[in-house]
Amino acid sequence: MPIYEYECRSCGHQFEQLVLPQSAPPACPACQSQDLERMLSMFAVNSETTRKLALDAGRRQAAKIRRDKAHAEHEEFHHHHH
């Protein structure tokens, strides 16, 4: 099924839309404008490998956010207590 990604030129909202041959032209769900730009999108591939890679990347990103937050809290603590 063709699902396309669009960006509204009027308000900048990005969204996905299922577009069938008999469908009316898509409109922005935020402002109803039909002044849309179809964006290039990646193919969605779902396999055990891609799920594992996505999960690993998410875990790495979460760990980085935790480290950055802990560092910021440490810096703030020392800045206010000296």
**Tens of pLDDT, residues 56-82:** 888 999 999 999 999 999 998 888 766
Answer yes or no: do 10 and 31 share one domain: yes
Task: List, as own/partner pairs, every contact residues 14-19 make where C-beta atoms lie below 8 angstroms and the sequence separation is at least 24, other chains included.
Answer: 14/39
Answer yes or no: do 35 and 49 share one domain: no
Domain count, the chain: 2
Answer yes or no: do 32 and 52 share one domain: no
Which residue is it, tokens 């020392």? Answer: 78
7 touches 34 (CB < 8 A): no
Identity of the amino acid at 6:
Y
Answer yes or no: do 58 and 77 share one domain: yes
Q: Enter the pTM of the model.
A: 0.48
Residue-number span of the structural domain to which 77 is assigned:
45-82
Answer yes or no: do 59 and 78 share one domain: yes
Answer yes or no: do 66 and 52 share one domain: yes
Question: Would you state the pLDDT for residue 3?
Answer: 83
What burial class does residue 6 get, using C-beta atoms within 10 Å of its C-beta: 0-12 exposed, 13-18 middle, 19+ buried?
buried
Answer yes or no: do 50 and 23 share one domain: no
